[in-house]
Structure 1
Amino acid sequence: MWITFSLVTLAWISTAQARINCEQVLHDCLRPEHVPWTKCYEDRIGSCITGRIQSNPKFIHQRVSWSQKVEKSPTPEHSLSIPASALQRSRGPEVLGEDVLLVTTVINSTLFKLSRTRRKQSRVITPDPPAPSVLGDLVLVVRAGNVPVQNLSQPIKLTFKHNKQVGNGTCVFWEESPLDDGTGTWSTKGCDTHDTGDEFICSCNHMSFFAVLVNPALSVSQSDAVNLSYITYIGSALSVFFTVISLIIYICLQRRRPEKATGVHLQLTGALLCLHLTFLLCSFWVWQLSENEEGWVCKGLGFFLHWSLLATFSWTALEGFHLYLLLVRVFNIYVRRYLLKLSVVGWGVPTLVAAVCGISGVYGKYNLRDANNQTSAAQICWMSSEFPHRLLVSYITTVAVPGALMILCNSCMLGLVVFKLWRLRASSLGTESSGWKKINREKGMKLLKDAATVLGLSCVLGLPWGLASTTYISLPGIYIFTILNSLQGLFMFLWSVALTCKSRSDNDSSVRDPSSQKIMTTSFNN
């Protein structure tokens, strides 16, 4: 009898020692002997003694019915919704009873150590891009039942609220390194992200340590936002004025001396006119709408703004394609209905993409958020902020495919122009037999002319759009990008004036500079 009592007492003491207070679980699991600490935490947090910690709203440790949907909010910024099917899966086949244990809390993100990735050694040192950070530096822990929960047919929904300006957010969970060295990575497997503007909603098919990774967004003060708005509106108004003049110049040049290059410039100028004019209309029309009103006019303006932007990218890319045929293929080449074929691509592809987006209901009123209070700082008729996949559609149809490809291809074309000019200048200077002063003077004049040609071509080929990457780095980058791209119409006007002067000089005399003529006229024979 005494032996039996002793065994029962020892068993009770050992069980009591194993069931430590929930306040001490995290501290004990962070000891060096518990690696990785996350597995230790998941094992012990379900069997700990709550004690006084139950009064802490950030720690929820209670039994819930597995037959009903459960909604909890450990903090005002974090909430979760677990369907009944997920709770039923967490019970396990051998467990009886009507309830399961649910544990949810938040943990500081500094406790999660990222695995180091080996990089190839390079002599060129390039700065790393800004690393994504955990929203609020908090990780939401979700654990239910006795068995791991994965591959749920009905996902659990996690809500992360934010009241400050953040970049694009991505829902992730903590995945331990296979080396079991206490490190790991943030993974997106099984999690979908939806950004409503005020909160990130994560839909995940498992339970784990969850967080939202956000890209650091460059904060712009209210005064800078006002200055950028004035620069954009004034620059777009000037672009509308100068593109109209450029259209008149190109039409006159086309009637006097029909050339394929002039036709391409004419189409690009028309696309720029549509872009800046529609942008001004979209910006000013949205002021006539109430806070919750969109209207079919705003949706139509958003459609035309997207269409004109895609048309501008298309014709800018076709400018680079035209230059490629002139410099790489045959200069005097005949292509039947050349401008008609280019027009099918330049106007047809943007129309098709914009039509598909319009049928999907993408367009509407877009709210620009203030950096401090997340209220609507500005509005424009564009892709509606209420559309679920607005960020994805906007990224694919404006940045990833048309913008990036256009900048990449046209940058190669500009490099080819510089190479051709260098070879032509080297060959022409090598055949001259005049004095050194005259050679240096002529070399300097030709260098200035080539620099002006390359600078003008860089604007025609749309390379200022590539400065969009600088807007994520510094405030001066935002100003430079805004000024250059709002004044595209002015640059096109200067290019048309340069072509007019070149055409007159070619008519007054014979060809004085064969190298520059190939670059400036860029035309096919009819």
Structure 2
Amino acid sequence: MSIASATLIDILDQSSNTEDSRVNGLIVTTSAESSSIPIQINFLPLNTTLDPTSSQCVFWNYNLNGTGDWDSMGCRFEINGRNIICKCTHLTSFSLLMSRFATKSHELTLITKITIGISVGCLVISLILEAIVWKHVTKNRTSLARHVIMLNIILFLLTANISFTVAQYLKPDTKFCMVIVFFIHFLYLALFFWMFILGLLLLYHLIFLFKNLSKAAMVIISLTLGYLCPLIISASIFTIGYFRKHYLKQDKCWMNTEELYILLSFNVPQLAIVTINIFITIVAIFKMLRPTIGEKQNSHANIKNTVKQIARGTAILTSILGLCWALGYAFLKADTSIVMRYVFDILNGLQGLFILVFGVVSDSKVQEALIQRFSWSSEHSQKSKLLLSSTSNSQ
């Protein structure tokens, strides 16, 4: 038996968790002979102008925040035309919450899709360029190590972006969704750890200027930090979340970051790596500020060159080492300015573009290799034309 009420909204909507959302349906209280019966209720949103994808199926939890509040635990929603179907595993008073900022959320989703599309295209171009110049730019150990790291960063970010896009179209209650979310977790963690390896390589060469890292040490560091660490973290979180049955969100194909340990498995490694890479950036800038032997410290040319080095170094380190991800930690609160959310989504969505521009194209060795390759192709084409011309004339 169910009882629907329109007037309880005026009382129960005044809760602390609904600052960015509001009740957008009747409040339905349901009772049944058995508490194990799954509940399914169809809601017609009162305000049909809000985006239905921002819906939350909620129940009134009397034990929350002392006086009671809306809670979404054990409930998920499906969209059926104009109706929202709420499916819950327990009995109480149910209703529908929808975000007041649904239109902006829709725009942010569109921006994310566009920027990720650009990022994927740029990463594919980066792979092609790396393949073209690989033999030319990997002649010494330091350059080889750098380009191996760059190749892993490109591949992990590319597969992570593709997996993230696929996950947006999957239902949360499927096995494939669980698998793809696990891989997304692993891929993004691995991406950060490879950025960390690049930072460590830079720090090593800043400290030990004339000493190369051995190949065996580089292989051990890469395998341990680049593959093993992210795999252990993602597999541990998956195992715990799977057996506790709250690994995935109930309304979309994504990790249930409402669980603190799942959220920390993302945030702690990222925050630690970003912090260390910021330190490496500061060390690199101070190194570039120090004049080399034989240069006049106050000369105009030296100052100009130093500014260029700082600008280029900061741009490369900020984009490649993932320092712009640090921006996200300033916007974890729900009341974050929508403008800053746009900035964060755009910057992080365009990581592939930054890697192409600052990590691949701006490399002087890559530029030299491309010039030689296309110059050789042009000369070869001209020689072929001359050979054909001479052959035709002799005939």
What is the DSSP-based 3-state SS (H/G/I as helix, E as strand, rest coil) of the residue aligned with 2:212?
coil
State which of 305, 328, 339 in structure 2 corresponds to 1:476: 339
Task: Show the 5 A alignment for 1:216-295.
Answer: 221-258=101-138, 259-284=144-169, 286=170, 289=171, 294-295=173-174
**Counterpart of 2:148 in structure 1: which amino acid?**
G
| Native 8 Å contact 2:115 2:346 kept in 1 | yes
Shift of 1:365: 4.4
State which of 357, 361, 377 in structure 2 corresponds to 1:494: 357
| Native 8 Å contact 1:303 1:358 kept in 2 | yes
Shift of 1:212: 8.2
In 1, Cα distance between the equivalents of 2:161 and 2:102? 24
| Native 8 Å contact 1:264 1:339 kept in 2 | no
Q: What is aligned with 1:315?
A: 194
In 1, Cα distance between the equivalents of 2:279 and 2:295? 26
Shift of 1:351: 1.5
Residues 1:412 and 1:346: Cα distance change in structure 2 (over 3 Å): same
**Counterpart of 1:328 in structure 2: which amino acid?**
I
Task: Show the 5 A alignment for 1:297-446.
Answer: 297-341=176-220, 342-360=222-240, 361=242, 362-367=246-251, 379=252, 381-384=253-256, 390-399=258-267, 401-424=268-291, 429-430=295-296, 439-440=299-300, 443-446=303-306
Q: What is aligned with 2:73?
A: none
In 1, Cα distance between the equivalents of 2:229 and 2:58? 31
1:173-193 per-residue CA deviation (whole Å, 9 max, x = no partner) reads: xxxxxxxxxxxxxxxxxxxxx
In 1, Cα distance between the equivalents of 2:248 and 2:19? 24
Q: What is aligned with 1:40?
A: none
Q: What is aligned with 1:460?
A: 320
Residues 1:474 and 1:256: Cα distance change in structure 2 (over 3 Å): same
What is the DSSP-based 3-state SS (H/G/I as helix, E as strand, rest coil) of the residue aligned with 1:430?
coil
| Native 8 Å contact 2:295 2:302 kept in 1 | no
| Native 8 Å contact 1:366 1:383 kept in 2 | no
| Native 8 Å contact 2:198 2:321 kept in 1 | yes
Shift of 1:261: 0.9
Higher relative contact order, chain-length normalized (CA < 8 Å, sep 6+): 2
Count how many residue pairs are aligned between Structure 1 and Structure 2: 288
TM-score, with structure 2 as normaliser: 0.63
**Counterpart of 2:296 in structure 1: which amino acid?**
G
Unaligned ranges ≥5, structure 2: 1-9, 22-56, 71-98, 139-143, 372-395
Shift of 1:223: 2.5
**Counterpart of 1:408 in structure 2: which amino acid?**
T
Shift of 1:507: 11
In 1, Cα distance between the equivalents of 2:328 and 2:303? 35
Unaligned ranges ≥5, structure 1: 1-74, 79-134, 138-161, 167-195, 204-208, 368-378, 433-438, 509-526
What is the DSSP-based 3-state SS (H/G/I as helix, E as strand, rest coil) of the residue aligned with 2:248?
strand
Q: Higher helix fraction: Structure 1 or Structure 2?
A: 2
Residues 1:337 and 1:248: Cα distance change in structure 2 (over 3 Å): farther
1:31-62 per-residue CA deviation (whole Å, 9 max, x = no partner) reads: xxxxxxxxxxxxxxxxxxxxxxxxxxxxxxxx
**Counterpart of 1:297 in structure 2: which amino acid?**
F
**Counterpart of 1:350 in structure 2: which amino acid?**
P
Shift of 1:475: 2.0
In 1, Cα distance between the equivalents of 2:113 and 2:370? 39
In 2, Cα distance between the equivalents of 1:477 and 1:278? 25
TM-score, with structure 1 as normaliser: 0.49
Q: Higher strand fraction: Structure 1 or Structure 2?
A: 1
1:283-327 per-residue CA deviation (whole Å, 9 max, x = no partner) reads: 12x2xx3xxx61101111111111111111211222211111111
Question: Percent same amino acid among aligned pairs?
Answer: 22
In 2, Cα distance between the equivalents of 1:220 and 1:441? 56
Residues 1:197 and 1:446: Cα distance change in structure 2 (over 3 Å): farther
Q: What is aligned with 1:185?
A: none
**Counterpart of 1:255 in structure 2: which amino acid?**
K
